[in-house]
Structure 1
Amino acid sequence: MICRRKFVKLTTHLQCFNLIPLNLSSGQRYVGHSVDSSLNSINNGNDTSIDKMSLASNLACLVEESSSVDERKPMNRLELKRFLELRIKKRVKDQFKDGKFHDLVEKVISNPYTLQDAYDSIRVNSKVNLASECDNINFDSLAKELASGKFDVNSNIYSISTRGANKEKLVLPNLKMSVIQEAIRIALEVVYRPHFSKISHGCRSGKGESSALKYICKEIVNPDWWFSLVLNKKIDTNILLKLISTMESKIEDPRLYSIIHSMFTAGILNMEFGGFAKGHGLPQEGVLSPILMNIYLDLFDREILNLSMKYEVLDTLKESQCDESRSESKLRSWFRRQMGPTQRNEGSMTGVRVHCCRLMDEILIVIKGSKEVTLALKSEIETYMQESLYLDIDSQTSISPSNDPRGVKFMGKIIKRTVRESPAVRAVHKLKEKVELFALQKEEAWDEGMVRIGKKVLGHGFKKVKESEIKHLADCNSVLSQVSRFRKPRMETDHWFKVLLKVWMQDTNLKKYDTEEYILSKLITEKALPQDLKDSFYTFQNHAKRYVSSETKSTATLLPESSISSELDYITEVCSPLKAIRLCLQRYGITNREGYPRACHMLVLLDHDHIIDWFHGIVNRWLRWYHLCDNFAEIKLIITETVRKSCIRTLATKYRLHESEIERKFDSDLSRLPTTEDYENNFVNEILESSYDEGLLYGIPYSGLCLLSLSRIVSESRPCKCFVIGCRAAAPCVYTIHVMQRHKFPVWKTGFSSCIHPSIHRRRIGLCKQHLKDLFIGHISLQSVSFDNWK
């Protein structure tokens, strides 16, 4: 007897390729329909052959009989998204003939089945159950409008403007326009996904940020120079015409290009080179931006391949005048590198090597060769970008040696080359760090003691001022008694003491010192200490500094005598931008100016579970983005020492309880924010298991956390529905969006939304509890929010 699971799997594949058609009439669901409904769909005009339907019906009957025993396992989010795209993929591939795809709008996009699948794809991105009630949209009439060419783009958009003097307008698509854009996006990805270059990463299945970092760290061997290209151009008529002419080589469909041109004219084709990496998943980017950007920049990918062949093979052959056998070997090795992974012995080979890695509109060029070759290649790339692709290049972009300790900015991180240390060198560094730490601890203890003594000195002086008011305790020979004659009548004791301190501070010019602690320790306490005690402390500190500097110099003697700086074993390190992260924590009110955690007052009015979800979203993003960084230990320290404590203090402010009581009361909920001991368990692995496919769920894996504050509670007199596309649930609360920052490209990846259009600032949206949690944690992005629901 044949296994039932095989029948289920086979029937699922038949459904994906429309061998079992599914009833998609308006307002009805297709998943799980019976064979009778499939037969009805054939009678209603489906073009599936009778032979295919007969086989599918027999198999479906067997599955239906066996499904009464146990239910089929439901598909998860990625599987459902892949299932929907496979259905459209089959329809697109049926239109391939004579080397091109023909009439995609008429035969595929204007199909109500395709529009239903595109709508469900949007709902999957919004994390909406497909079995729930859907929006009131008639796919049959929408398909007829597209097929007849009567669909009006301008009537299916809406705009929101900034409030205030500086007027900026953001144009966004409505639900029908979003469905059409999603259908076009899936169709274009089916056409172009197999033809993209291997150096292209971002918004592609299996080719995201992790694959780009893997290529940079493992495949690029011993580079000499590198630089990143900073693009700066918004789509204009020249770029659009160039894009359409590029697409005509693979797609023959004037109606498709007419729709794309109408979207550009209406202002909803928000494709900005140099602005895409500011923040993934923001509403102004649109779903068509990533695929169109990859199609357009694929021209650059092919040009850089030609330039690499020119510099690695052709120029080398002209200069080196080698024999025919050697030239064939060099050319053959170049083709092998382009066809497969880079060989690990590439570093021992001589000659020029050119590497390129592109993550959407972020481009990193790495060269192994002389500086003259690097400058010439950079000049040719900039000329091609400006004259052929009509893109502007930042003139301040400069090349830098790969061993520059500052590194290069790419993908929101710092990439730099460092020398691989031998075990002996690491041992010396470890001992040196211990001595530095011990000396620092002694210095901190000394400063704390000086401050404590200085406070006691001030207290003693205040006591003497009070004693001077008592006649039998007053000392006539003291300095205080001599200056007391300048005391004004009826002046309080506290006031008199402050006047004395003010006069002393003016006399010693203390304005140049920053803190009171420094004044107490250096100008009051240390001057009164015995000289022998001060000499012994500073002698110890000087000895520690000399030891550290001497050990640093002697480290070079442990290296092999034959090694020189150019032959050192370098490794590529990826570091997270800690300074930018700490600055964002201060900007969002998580830390104060000194960097200590504080309560985030804009979250106080939210429910306690949503407050924890907001901080949990920071942790999720950092663990997913930075777990491969070499300074991940410092990220873990920020999580445990700053984010977790700020969450506890926010809850303590909300409930007016002590922090220890908050930790006991919300112990189970706070377990989502890891402590130091949790990292020894599988906490990080549990977060990474819930990975996202960047090609299927665009914008969600790298969307930043936005700040929402409670605006009002929804009442019966002022009802509100959830603003997430496809969700029909009631929203119990209305929230206000706060735009905290707007950076220029390239920006650091800090965990927060780095660039939100200013027109969205202080906009109010209604969210149900589930989608508010999903937005905070990072399961959906702002692209899933429809901002025209108030209308």
Structure 2
Amino acid sequence: MWFNIRLGGTSKLFRPLLMRGASLPGPKSEKMARLYGARISLEYVEDVPKQDEPPASLAKSLACLPDEPQSTENQQATSFMEQKRLIELRIKKRVKAQYHNDKFYELMDTVVANKYTLSDCYDLVRLTSHIELTSEKDQICFSTMAEQLEKGEFDVAANTVTMRAKGDKMQFLVLPNLKLRVVQESLRVVLEVVFRPHFSKLSHGCRNGRGHRSALRYVKKKIHSSDWWFTVSMNKEADIGILSKLTSFMEERIQDTKLFQFIRQIFDAGALNLVFGVFPKGHGLPQEGVLSPILMNIYLNAFDKEVFRISLRYEALGLGRGLQHSNLRGWFRRQMNDSEAFEGVKLNVCRYMDEVLVFVSGSKDVATSFKFEMTNFLRDSLHLTEAENQMDPVAADDNCLQFLGMTVQVRTSEGEAVRAVHKLKDKVRLFASQKQEIWNSLTLRLGKKWLAYGLRRLKESEIKQLGLSTPILDHISRFRKPGMKTDHWFKELLKLWMQDVNAKKELDVEAILSKYITEPGLPQELKDSFYNFIKQANEYVSSESAATLALLKSSKTETNPSQKVLRMKAPVSKIKKSLLRYGIVTAEGYPRHVSTLVLQDDDQIISWFLGLVYRWRKWYSETENYDYIKLLMTECLRKSCSRTLGAKYQVAEEVIEKRFDATLSCIPMAEDLDAEMCLDGLEEGLCYGAWNSGLCSLSLSRVRVPTRSFSCFVMGCTSPSRSMYTLHVKERQRFPGWKTGFVSSIHPALHRERIGLCNRHVEALYLGKISLQSVQFGALRR
């Protein structure tokens, strides 16, 4: 039973109870509970006499039922995010303490070279590696690291590992070890605290609350009032000039020479891989590095400001759509002579890392001028080369662009009547195709029977007791050579007949049997009726009737205006190529077993396929062709997983389906498991690499080193590694990269690299909880 407690002079007695997480009822007590952030329950107070109360209604009783507890995995994922926020909050307070006179001072000595900051960043690295903080830690002396950083004695080159491509010494990759990764994590957090509040609203990617989905929502919102669109493709690898320009941008808010010198040391050592537009971003691959996203946002923030300045100048020249009259805009129009050319101009830009999508509402000349100014700024001020991209009208349904690894297309929304007409056309097309299939199957069946009848007659003619001697048999017997068997004779006859009818121009044998054998023997009225039906159906489907045109015009009236709708499509052709490249399907498109997974554990095999399902549902859940993606989940992934397990145990697929029915049931749908993987956009800034990491291919590799015992190669993990795995590079794509569920590109230096992983982190890598950034490559060489 609940009762109210007056929080007056005696409320101090209950204040400790409030702080202990108890529950306090009542309207006044609820206000106080919100102030103290806690609740009080009856178990912490003395018993009181019961009072007469009316019986509670059924609805009120059901409303008071406790909520069902969340799953352990969801609570664990949430706790990881909460712990990351708390750690970054502690570092943020240290950074804010160095803010004086509109600048941050001595961040390297007071924040980065701080043993508490390094310890916190080590915990961040472990949380990124999906390791609990209560587990065993590595033997790292943070006091010594802090002293080395403060004195400038920290050797960056000694804390890196150089990976070279097999057979090509020119291609190499420099990766940080655990100590340098901790220092890079501290630099990332410090730079985010300083610069994240000053980023423009048009920038997305690796930011809390402004990730992949927020970019899509922004584009869908601004597409309705746009007339022209184009993309901006950057292509440049960071050099000394870009690094100097980046340092000048950071000097506007930070005054710390040692910090910039240390970043320069990381760059000189090759451990800072800042690339614009060459490799696709956001896939959690080692070539990105943990510093690349924040440094790219800092560098391109100048581009965001320039775009805002240009758009403000263009939009202020006219009233335009959605713009209100003001004295300031009127003054701008009076100062410019060509104000009429810019009337109704509206510019919208969405930047996701180094991918830029621009919408322009206005004339083509205005859009061309705006694109020219943007590309000039990229080339002259930021020293970034821009590829030539075509500018297309937004209203055209056949024009499409690539953005965020998917195909973006604009279509016009249709009314109910127009959709009904198109639905009727689809039904007519389907009905006609069904009749065509029935016609082809029946004619093919008759043609095969004709072949069997002819062969049987030839064989019967050789039996003298039957006395079968007809003019036709006597005529064709002249083509039979002495000693030729019946089957060989029959093949020679068919060869002569095919040469006579010129059968080489046909596609296959089925078309020959239907067209040259069965159809000539059918009644002419039947053939004319069927082909007339097919002709009428094709004409109806391919042509727009007058009624449809009238409905289209009526849908664009004021009562039912047409709108531009953004359509996102998953790259189905690229996905199919990736499925073939990774061995999930055959060349004909049929599911098969994945040979590289046969030797792994059952849970790891299922996690590999389940990780692909997670990625597809996370990236393509809002695409137009998502139904086809779900069909691939059901027809390809589930069957390929069953056949992989069947190849492992050498049993039939039906036996595997029965044995693993409970586990395999989550592969086609996986609704109950989406909550863990499909994190909100608020978490993207805390999930560097793992947010968009692609599924990689690992094969079990046996390596015997009797004198050494290896731990798991994941940073921060001290569990023993009982198995070695070989990383296979399946794709080496250049920008722009498509999202296929698999990694878009891996540096060739990592091809066939052996890594030791514990079972827990193999499943985490497959499911997308960690990325390849968390793996210490080259540990076997040390």
Q: How many Å separate the matches in 1 of 2:752 and 2:516?
A: 50
Contact 1:468/1:474 (8 A) holds in 2: yes
Q: How many Å separate the matches in 1 of 2:509 and 2:703?
A: 46
Instruction: Give the corresponding residue for 1:555.
Output: 548
SS at match of 1:204: coil
**TM-aligned CA distance change 1:690 to 1:471, over 3 Å:** farther
CA offsets per residue over residues 560-613 of structure 1, 9 Å max, x none?
559489973222222222222222222222223333323333322322322221
Match of 1:739 among 721, 724, 729: 729
Instruction: Give the corresponding residue for 2:361.
Output: 368
SS at match of 2:313: helix
Match of 1:635 among 629, 632, 648: 629
CA offsets per residue over residues 31-83 of structure 1, 9 Å max, x none?
xxxxxxxxxxxxxxxxxxxxxxxxxxxxxxxxxxx9xxxxxx98611111111
Aligned residues: 707
Alignment of 1:270-285 (within 5 A): 270-278=273-281, 280-285=283-288
Contact 1:623/1:687 (8 A) holds in 2: no
Instruction: Give the corresponding residue for 2:750.
Output: 760
Opposite residue 136 of structure 1, the aligned amino acid is Q
Match of 1:147 among 135, 138, 150: 150
CA offsets per residue over residues 522-578 of structure 1, 9 Å max, x none?
444434433333222222212222333456542221245594899732222222222
Q: How many Å separate the matches in 2 of 1:719 and 1:503?
A: 73
CA displacement at 1:88 relative to structure 2: 1.0
Opposite residue 370 of structure 1, the aligned amino acid is S
CA displacement at 1:647 relative to structure 2: 1.9
Confirm whether residue 612 of structure 1 aligns to residue 606 of structure 2: yes
CA displacement at 1:427 relative to structure 2: 1.7
Confirm whether residue 443 of structure 1 aligns to residue 446 of structure 2: no
Match of 1:359 among 352, 361, 378: 352
Opposite residue 577 of structure 1, the aligned amino acid is P
Match of 2:522 among 529, 542, 546: 529
Instruction: Give the corresponding residue for 2:82.
Output: 79
SS at match of 2:358: strand
> Is the deviation greater in 204-213 or in 634-643?
634-643
Confirm whether residue 205 of structure 1 aligns to residue 198 of structure 2: no
Contact 1:281/1:702 (8 A) holds in 2: yes
CA displacement at 1:516 relative to structure 2: 3.9
**TM-aligned CA distance change 1:554 to 1:210, over 3 Å:** same
Instruction: Give the corresponding residue for 2:65.
Output: none
Match of 2:539 among 537, 546, 551: 546
Match of 2:226 among 213, 223, 226: 223
RMSD of aligned Cα (Å): 3.2
**TM-aligned CA distance change 1:235 to 1:137, over 3 Å:** same
CA displacement at 1:218 relative to structure 2: 1.8
Q: How many Å separate the matches in 2 of 1:231 and 1:724?
A: 33
Match of 1:657 among 628, 632, 651: 651
> Is the deviation greater in 168-177 or in 495-504?
495-504
Opposite residue 269 of structure 1, the aligned amino acid is L
**TM-aligned CA distance change 1:527 to 1:781, over 3 Å:** farther
Q: How many Å separate the matches in 1 of 2:343 and 2:148?
A: 62
**TM-aligned CA distance change 1:271 to 1:669, over 3 Å:** same
Confirm whether residue 415 of structure 1 aligns to residue 408 of structure 2: yes
Contact 2:392/2:399 (8 A) holds in 1: no
Q: How many Å separate the matches in 2 of 1:722 and 1:493?
A: 70
SS at match of 1:710: strand
Alignment of 1:642-681 (within 5 A): 642-674=636-668
Instruction: Give the corresponding residue for 1:255.
Output: 258
Alignment of 1:377-776 (within 5 A): 377-473=370-466, 475-477=468-470, 482-484=475-477, 486-487=479-480, 493-506=486-499, 508-549=501-542, 552-561=545-554, 563=556, 568-674=562-668, 688=678, 693-712=683-702, 719-776=709-766
User: When the two structures are superposed, what TM-score results if normalisation uses the length of structure 2?
Assistant: 0.84
Q: How many Å separate the matches in 1 of 2:447 and 2:728?
A: 45
**TM-aligned CA distance change 1:329 to 1:397, over 3 Å:** closer
SS at match of 1:304: helix
SS at match of 2:780: coil
Contact 1:197/1:298 (8 A) holds in 2: yes
Q: How many Å separate the matches in 2 of 1:126 and 1:699?
A: 11
CA offsets per residue over residues 455-505 of structure 1, 9 Å max, x none?
444444444454454444584446566445555555555555445445555
Contact 1:609/1:669 (8 A) holds in 2: no
Contact 2:355/2:404 (8 A) holds in 1: yes
> Is the deviation greater in 582-591 or in 371-380?
582-591
Q: How many Å separate the matches in 2 of 1:115 and 1:497?
A: 85
CA displacement at 1:129 relative to structure 2: 1.9
Contact 2:279/2:737 (8 A) holds in 1: no
Confirm whether residue 184 of structure 1 aligns to residue 184 of structure 2: no
Opposite residue 742 of structure 1, the aligned amino acid is R
CA offsets per residue over residues 287-310 of structure 1, 9 Å max, x none?
000000000000000000011012
Contact 2:210/2:682 (8 A) holds in 1: no
Q: How many Å separate the matches in 2 of 1:297 and 1:370?
A: 27
**TM-aligned CA distance change 1:761 to 1:686, over 3 Å:** closer
User: When the two structures are superposed, what TM-score results if normalisation uses the length of structure 1?
Assistant: 0.83
Unaligned runs of 5+ in 2: 1-13, 23-43, 45-74, 334-341
CA offsets per residue over residues 707-744 of structure 1, 9 Å max, x none?
11222276867754321111122223222211111222
SS at match of 1:750: coil
Contact 1:615/1:643 (8 A) holds in 2: yes
Q: Identity percentage over the alignment? A: 48
Contact 2:279/2:734 (8 A) holds in 1: no
SS at match of 2:385: coil
Q: How many Å separate the matches in 1 of 2:689 and 2:183?
A: 18
Match of 1:97 among 92, 95, 100: 100
Instruction: Give the corresponding residue for 1:30.
Output: none
SS at match of 1:206: coil
**TM-aligned CA distance change 1:326 to 1:139, over 3 Å:** closer
Opposite residue 734 of structure 1, the aligned amino acid is M
SS at match of 1:230: strand
Opposite residue 98 of structure 1, the aligned amino acid is N
CA displacement at 1:182 relative to structure 2: 0.7
Confirm whether residue 782 of structure 1 aligns to residue 776 of structure 2: no
Match of 2:135 among 132, 157, 161: 132
SS at match of 1:231: strand
Q: How many Å separate the matches in 1 of 2:496 and 2:166?
A: 51
**TM-aligned CA distance change 1:760 to 1:495, over 3 Å:** farther
SS at match of 1:232: strand
Contact 1:277/1:362 (8 A) holds in 2: no
Contact 1:730/1:768 (8 A) holds in 2: yes
Instruction: Give the corresponding residue for 2:240.
Output: 237
Q: How many Å separate the matches in 2 of 1:236 and 1:399?
A: 33
Q: How many Å separate the matches in 2 of 1:390 and 1:299?
A: 12
Opposite residue 108 of structure 1, the aligned amino acid is V
Confirm whether residue 164 of structure 1 aligns to residue 167 of structure 2: yes
Contact 1:737/1:763 (8 A) holds in 2: yes
Contact 1:157/1:172 (8 A) holds in 2: yes
Opposite residue 2 of structure 1, the aligned amino acid is R
Opposite residue 576 of structure 2, the aligned amino acid is R
**TM-aligned CA distance change 1:134 to 1:593, over 3 Å:** same
Confirm whether residue 328 of structure 1 aligns to residue 362 of structure 2: no
> Is the deviation greater in 398-407 or in 260-269?
398-407
CA displacement at 1:508 relative to structure 2: 4.7
Instruction: Give the corresponding residue for 1:48.
Output: none
Q: How many Å separate the matches in 2 of 1:520 and 1:686?
A: 56
Contact 1:418/1:572 (8 A) holds in 2: yes
Instruction: Give the corresponding residue for 2:10.
Output: none
